[in-house]
Amino acid sequence: MDPFQWAIDPWGKIVPIHIAWYLIWVTTIAGLLFVIVHAIFVRYFAKPRQFAPDDPPVDPAKIPAHVPRHSLVARTFHWVMAASMFTLLFTAFLPKVGFQFDWVTYHWIAGAVLTASVVFHIFHATFFMDFWSIWPDKIDLRDGWRRTERFMGKPAPPPERFAKYPPENKLYHMAIIAAGFSVIVTGVFMMSRVRTIFFPRNPYLFGDLTWGMMYVLHGLAGVGLIALIMMHVYFGLQPEKREITKSMIFGWMDRDFDLKEHDPTRWRVETSVVETSTPPGRSQGARTEGLTDAG
Ligand code: HEM
């Protein structure tokens, strides 16, 4: 089955024009399968999570009852992006599976909102947030290996507790960057094929082959996002991740959850656990962001 749709250009060359729309179902079913298999694994097979003991031991009295995690600005960005992402997915794919409506205008407007919010996020994350907190560090790589070995039943020390983000969230963020940038960059160019308020329509900006490849990349990243968003919503609704989801609404999480999952030497509460130096190789993420509204 051909994953692309093809056409013949005015010079007789065969060029790609779109992805084949059955790929919508391929990634939807892949996302559903992932969710089902993961849910069965967690329910029946997964062992309780184990972490290495704290070094130095954490004094719970030094952790505030509400640990700030996401500032108002960061939460607003997240929900604006979520709304535009869902609008983009529904406007793009509903017409392709039989629900016809005039989708293009809603689609490019949501695309412009997503583009603006992502540009803002990059600026905000670079200058006002702890930029490195979302990228895997050496401990994540080492612990990723240890967790894999333990999963295979081999002897390995338990991993350390997490910094601000568990490594799974960091990997997910990288996948969203790849898919998100692909739809945004191609989408901005594709806006010149339709009428928008941003620039005059110019379908001759590129040749047919380049346009075709752009539509194909836009479509591939778009269907990839179906599965990625399904996984994201599924994990956000999981009981063990609910504290993290709650923090994306209210900005903070409970001390008990923080003590269970997070390592204050990798992600510090500046209000109490004041440290002037960070051990080598550790994230310098500080938890003042929610308090100061800076990230
Ligand atoms: C979740 C993100 C997105 C998804 C799933 C998505 C999906 C799609 C799909 C499937 C198409 C039809 C492509 C084709 O006919 O081969 C499309 C077209 C289009 N998209 Fe997106 N897109 C997304 C983000 C964006 C963004 C961020 C922009 C703008 C910055 C954008 C602008 C456009 C435009 C202008 C078209 C062309 C309409 C046309 O030529 O008729 N999209 N999109």
Q: Is the CB of 88 under 6 A from ligand 1?
A: yes
Residues 6+ apart with CB under 8 A from 157: 52, 146
Nearest CA to ligand 1 atom 40: 193
pLDDT at 275 over 60: no
Output the CA–CA distances (angstroms, integers) from residue 246 to 31, 41, 185, 278, 292, in the order listed: 24, 24, 32, 28, 19
Distance 78 CA to ligand 1 centre (A): 20
The preferred substitution site among 28, 190, 210 for testing ligand 1, maximizing ligand atoms within 8 Å of CB, is 190
Structure confidence at residue 269 (pLDDT): 60
Rounded to the nearest whole angstrom, what is the distance from the C-alpha of residue 91 to the centroid of ligand 1? 9
pLDDT above 70 for 284? no
Q: Whose CA is nearest to atom 31 of ligand 1?
A: 187
CA 295 to chain centre: 17
Q: Is 104 in the pocket of ligand 1 (CB under 6 A)?
A: yes
Query: What distances in angstroms separate CA 160 from CA 208, 241, 253, one per listed residue?
Result: 52, 18, 20
**Is 60 exceeded by the pLDDT of residue 62?**
yes
- pLDDT tens, residue by residue, 214-273: 999 999 999 999 999 999 999 999 998 999 999 999 999 999 999 999 998 888 765 433
pTM of the predicted protein model: 0.90
If phi over 0 gives left and psi between -120 and 50 gives alpha, with beta otherwise, what is residue 159? Answer: beta
Read off the pLDDT of each residue in 170-175 and give the average, rounded to a whole number.
98
Any atom of ligand 1 within 6 Å of the Cβ of 216: no
Residue 218 Cβ < 6 Å to ligand 1: yes
Ligand 1 centroid – CA 15 distance (Å): 19
Minimum mean pLDDT range among 136-145, 183-192, 257-266: 257-266
Written as six digits, the tokens of 96 are 């392709």
What local confidence, expressed as pLDDT, does residue 270 receive? 53
Output phi, psi for 267, to 5 deg.
-150, 105
When pLDDT is cut at 50, 70 and 90, the band that residue 212 belongs to is: very high
